[in-house]
Copies of this chain bind each other. A is one copy, B any other.
Amino acid sequence: MTAISVDIKQMGAAARAASRRLAASQSSVRNGALNAIASKLLEHEPEILAANEKDIAAARESGLGEHVIDRMVLNHDRIQAMADACGEIAALPDPIGVVLEERTMPNGLEIQRISVPLGVIGVIFESRPNVTIDITALCLKSGNGVILRGGKEALGANTVLARIAREAVKSVGLPEDVVQFVSTTDRALVGEMLSLDRYIDLIIPRGSAELVRFVGENATMPAITGGVGVCHTYVDAAADLDKALKVVVNAKTERPTVCNAMDTLLVHSSVADEFLPQLAREFGVSNVEMRADGKAMAALQDIATGVRVVPAQSDDFGQEFLALIAAVKVVDSMDEAMDHISEFGSGHSEAIITEDSETAERFLAEVDAAAVFANASTYFNDGGQFGLGAEVAISTSKLHARGPMGLREITTYKWVVRGNGQVRT
């Protein structure tokens, strides 16, 4: 074992021990820590910005693309936003100690099911330094210790941010070891972190599909698999085509690089000839490439040039594009659409556009995904949009949490039984 191995194991053990004290702390103390982080962020703004500038200079030198650098950039507004997020999370109701159910049994045992922290959460994330603060705030609020491992591009800023968080935790009398930051980006460390099931209760990868897959396959502790969305929108025979146009364009173009963006459009054959040319014109304006199956190509044959329409290849269906590309397929029934979704979807976000409420209800009931939508954009699948407050991740796992994961989703529960000497015979 190298020195590094010992360090991360020690971090795990320290986080585990400290998390027991955090779990037993008062809600007001944990909120105090969040508010302390908020003030310290503003106090240390020059130091944070200086570290961030160094990171960016190094990133430019190593030839990283401007879209990555754009996500890394911190400035006064972004630091203020991080501080505001801490304050907002502090103001949310305490997710732990909630009595989820209770009953008194005939033998007099009083049984409660009560929400408690998970323990220690490991988070592996990529370029955006604000994740360091967001995740730390959510973990502290919910009584969980956290081990953070950020991307190498943002190491300088992340190091300062994690130090500030630890100082804030200490300033309210909580053990600073509840926040651990892995200050090297040695790749081997990720593997070691994934082996620490003794200390880490849940691991959350936030980043590329590749990272999520690697973590899912190699973690010895439970991992949230999510963030990969192959999302469909089905425009039904009974759709209001104006609504359909608006919703499909929003789901594809508003933020094409996120997991809840539409990837494949399914259109009922009875409306394809009317709908697809209208859509192609809108997509032309937004520079969306359409990868159309045979029937969709036929419906699009007469449209003006300037619209990018190419024949779909077989691997276009079931692909998460994360770009201004949409696969398009014409179907003859909702059943065909649902079968397609069942085969190619990733269980993330699936939508139907229809004015026929019976059809809508069947789709909502039968399509198996974290979130199903009638007459709304898949882009709404988000903790904030669902009223959960901040979110840690969007899960496509079926167990534990599905869809947006807010504070409640990083807690567990325990059964608390109060008796008076009862025995079971």
Q: Measuring CB to CB, which residues of chain A are less than 8 angstroms from any residue of chain B?
A: 20, 23-24, 103, 105, 109, 111, 116, 118-119, 201-202, 222, 240, 242-243, 246-247, 249-251, 254, 342, 360, 364-366, 368-377, 379-382, 385-387, 397-400, 402-404, 412-425
Cβ of A423 and Cβ of B372 under 8 Å apart? no
Cβ of B381 and Cβ of A414 under 8 Å apart? no
Complex A-B, nearest 10 residue pairs according to Cβ-Cβ distance, in ascending order: A376-B419, A250-B423, A243-B421, A371-B415, A399-B400, A400-B400, A375-B419, A398-B412, A373-B417, A222-B399
Cβ of B375 and Cβ of A425 under 8 Å apart? no
Could you give 11 example pairs across A and B, Cβ below 8 Å?
Answer: A20-B342, A201-B399, A222-B399, A243-B420, A249-B423, A251-B423, A371-B415, A371-B417, A375-B420, A380-B422, A381-B415
Cα A91 to Cα B419 in complex, Å, equals 29
Cβ of B399 and Cβ of A119 under 8 Å apart? no
Distance in angstroms from A345 CB to nearest chain B CB is 13
The chain B residue with its CB closest to the CB of A216 is: B220
Among A381, A416, A417, which residue has the most Cβ atoms of chain B within 10 A? A417
Cβ of A421 and Cβ of B222 under 8 Å apart? no
Cβ of A375 and Cβ of B412 under 8 Å apart? no
Among A23, A105, A222, A423, which residue has the most Cβ atoms of chain B within 10 A? A423
Cα A30 to Cα B105 in complex, Å, equals 29
Cβ of B360 and Cβ of A418 under 8 Å apart? yes
Cβ of B415 and Cβ of A385 under 8 Å apart? no
**Is chain A's interface secondary structure helix, strand, loop, or mixed overall?**
mixed
Cα A116 to Cα B243 in complex, Å, equals 29
Number of copies: 2
The chain B residue with its CB closest to the CB of A381 is: B415
Per a CB cutoff under 8 Å, which of B381, B399, B412, B420 touches A402? B412
Cβ of B254 and Cβ of A424 under 8 Å apart? yes
Per a CB cutoff under 8 Å, which of B24, B342, B375, B422 touches A421? B375
Evaluate whether A418 and B375 lie within 8 angstroms (CB atoms) in the complex, with A246-B423, A366-B20, A425-B254 already known. yes
The chain B residue with its CB closest to the CB of A424 is: B379
Cβ of B413 and Cβ of A402 under 8 Å apart? yes
Residues of chain B within 8 A of A109, CB atoms compared? 376, 380, 385
The chain B residue with its CB closest to the CB of A420 is: B375
Cα A213 to Cα B243 in complex, Å, equals 52
Per a CB cutoff under 8 Å, which of B23, B24, B366, B387 touches A105? B387
Cβ of B414 and Cβ of A375 under 8 Å apart? no
Per a CB cutoff under 8 Å, which of B111, B403, B414, B420 touches A369? B414
Cβ of A414 and Cβ of B399 under 8 Å apart? no
Distance in angstroms from A253 CB to nearest chain B CB is 10
Cα A96 to Cα B119 in complex, Å, equals 30
Inter-chain pairs besides A370-B414, A371-B414, A376-B419, 7 sampled, C-beta below 8 Å: A20-B342, A109-B380, A119-B398, A243-B421, A250-B423, A360-B418, A373-B419
Cα A342 to Cα B413 in complex, Å, equals 17
Cα A215 to Cα B380 in complex, Å, equals 37
Evaluate whether A380 and B201 lie within 8 angstroms (CB atoms) in the complex, with A373-B419, A398-B412, A412-B402 already known. no
Distance in angstroms from A293 CB to nearest chain B CB is 24
Distance in angstroms from A224 CB to nearest chain B CB is 9
Per a CB cutoff under 8 Å, which of B201, B222, B373 touches A222? B222
Residues of chain B within 8 A of A425, CB atoms compared? 250, 254
